[in-house]
A and B are shown apart, each in its own frame.
Chain A
Amino acid sequence: GESVGLHLPTLSVQEGDNSIINCAYSNSASDYFIWYKQESGKGPQFIIDIRSNMDKRQGQRVTVLLNKTVKHLSLQIAATQPGDSAVYFCAENRAAGNKLTFGGGTRVLVKP
């Protein structure tokens, strides 16, 4: 069935380096994508979103890239910091109404 999936379950990155988290989606009708960060013991926290009429959006130290041709979404974190250690989820809106479908998550571990 259609799903949102993540390529890498765990990503280790050196502090100060850039991180790239990838996500594949299969429904070409999805028109909204969002990245969440979940720290231990907390609920998911919104990071950044992008609509299908865009291919790039930047926030504070984060950039989301959308490649509709290959149905691929990525989150780039610049100058990764220890506080960036968390699980990152991508989600898509692929149905009518206000429902999101979440991917499996990628754990990012920042090494000092």
Chain B
Amino acid sequence: ETGVTQTPRHLVMGMTNKKSLKCEQHLGHNAMYWYKQSAKKPLELMFVYNFKEQTENNSVPSRFSPECPNSSHLFLHLHTLQPEDSALYLCASSLAGAVSSYEQYFGPGTRLTVT
């Protein structure tokens, strides 16, 4: 799992807290993604960044705020979350523009619990 790393691996936060999830890719990729994975739903795409620019916001509530300072790092800032936001948050990266640009490499995820 050295290709895409995520920190923290586990996070418990109250509904009034502010926290951030971090993702770093060491693969030389130029596209990064945030997904939400909950127990009863398929992987849900949240955000897509291509060359540091946000190209997709899949109707995500504003209490989730992504940031992509460079092609290797991606953050997800969290504030005033709801218990239903508890899930596994996965980061992925890919090499956009390449023949196999659809192949995404995932990190291990951050298990988030909102109390």
Is B94 part of the binding interface, using a Cβ–Cβ cutoff of 8 Å? Answer: yes
Give B89 Cβ to nearest chain A Cβ, in Å: 10
Q: Scoring B residues 34 to 47 as 1 if CB is less than 8 Å from chain A, else 0, what string do you get? A: 00000001110100
Is B105 part of the binding interface, using a Cβ–Cβ cutoff of 8 Å? Answer: yes
Whether the pair B56, A99 counts as a contact (CB closer than 8 A) is yes
Whether the pair A34, B102 counts as a contact (CB closer than 8 A) is yes
Q: Scoring A residues 54 to 87 as 1 if CB is less than 8 Å from chain B, else 0, what string do you get? A: 0000000000000000000000000000000000
Interface footprint category on B = 20 to 34
Whether the pair A98, B4 counts as a contact (CB closer than 8 A) is no
Whether the pair B96, A98 counts as a contact (CB closer than 8 A) is yes
Chain B neighbourhood of A98, CB < 8 A: 31, 48, 50, 94, 96, 101-102
Count how many chain A residues have C-beta atoms less than 8 Å from C-beta atoms of the other chain. 23
Chain B neighbourhood of A89, CB < 8 A: 42-43
Is B53 part of the binding interface, using a Cβ–Cβ cutoff of 8 Å? Answer: no
Would A97 and B48 be within 8 Å (CB), given that A43-B90, A89-B43 are in contact?
yes
Interface residues of B (CB under 8 A from A): 1, 4, 31, 41-43, 45, 48, 50, 55-56, 90, 92, 94, 96, 100-109
